[in-house]
Amino acid sequence: MNRMTTMKPDWRLKLRLISARILIKLGRLTHADYSSSELKSAVDKHLPETFPIEVPVSKGELSLLEAQISMPKNEALIDVHLLGSLLIGPTVKPIYRAHITIHLQAYPIYEVDTNIVKLEKLLVSNVQLVNDEYSIIEDSKELLGLLFPVPFQNLLTGTVKSAIGLLTGGGSDLAVDYMKLYLSGSKQRILDYHRPQIEALVSDFAQSEELQYQLDPKEFEEYLFSLYGREVIVEEGNLRFKF
């Protein structure tokens, strides 16, 4: 009895591991579940995150602000809705600013050799504009500052459209064609222009090492899974670690 009360922590761990292994072999311990809220808490540690966006003129950035995560019971995937913002131009006075939602789906995979859980087969299925008070589009002479030196701007008369027309000369300059999107007044057209970049950035981020999860050997459940775990899947609305 005294020997049991003075047992060292490593012996307690060994006894827990032996007991757990017996339960696994008997089929009494088959899996451990993580809920959508637990998964969201893990993702929230990496948000917000900001990435540069390539723009023909000026500069741009995509910010991922928050995530909503669900795991439909009738599907084997993780469903993620991201709230983000797209900003083009100087931060203090942008020519375009909008909140966007990004819907993506992915499947979890567990690498037995490295004890890492990560995402695969990722699909960005939708990028949508949010029409709120945050949203702006500039179609006035603020645009000229991105194309003309300040002294030359004072010599221009007429509309922004006619001023931009001076640069084209019937040609197809990339910067001028891009600025013409703003003259349409359509926030959606500008978002559509940047959508391929947005999808690529989100896909790379979701599959980056930053969002991979390395099992922690200091946590008993995770250490146990690193020894006897077989796969990680989405099942019955949970992220399921299966022995």
Identify whether 171 is part of a domain. Answer: no
Three-class SS state of 211: helix
Identify whether 104 is part of a domain. Answer: yes
Identify whether 176 is part of a domain. Answer: no
**Between the CA of residue 107 and those of 39, 80, 207, 238, what are the distances in Å?**
13, 11, 11, 12
Give the global pTM: 0.81
Identify whether 120 is part of a domain. Answer: yes
Q: How far apart are CA 105 and CA 95, in angstroms?
A: 31
Q: Express each pLDDT in 115-124 by its tens digit.
A: 999 999 999 9
Identify whether 23 is part of a domain. Answer: no
Write out the two tokens for 97.
């600013």
Nearest Cα to 51, choosing from 194, 212, 209? 194
Identify whether 15 is part of a domain. Answer: no
* CATH code of residue 224: 3.15.10.40
What are the φ and ψ backbone dihedral angles of 231, each rounded to 5 degrees?
-160, 160
Identify whether 221 is part of a domain. Answer: yes
Domain count, the chain: 1
Length of the chain: 243
Structural domain for 110, as ranges: 33-139+185-242
Identify whether 192 is part of a domain. Answer: yes
pLDDT of residue 145: 57
Write out the two tokens for 7.
């047992």
pLDDT per residue, tens digit, the chain (243 aa), is 343 444 445 878 888 889 999 999 999 999 999 999 999 999 999 999 999 999 887 789 999 999 999 999 989 999 999 999 999 988 888 889 999 999 999 999 999 999 999 999 999 999 999 988 888 887 665 565 555 545 544 544 444 555 555 444 444 467 778 877 887 888 999 999 999 999 999 999 999 999 999 999 989 999 999 999 999 999 999 999 999
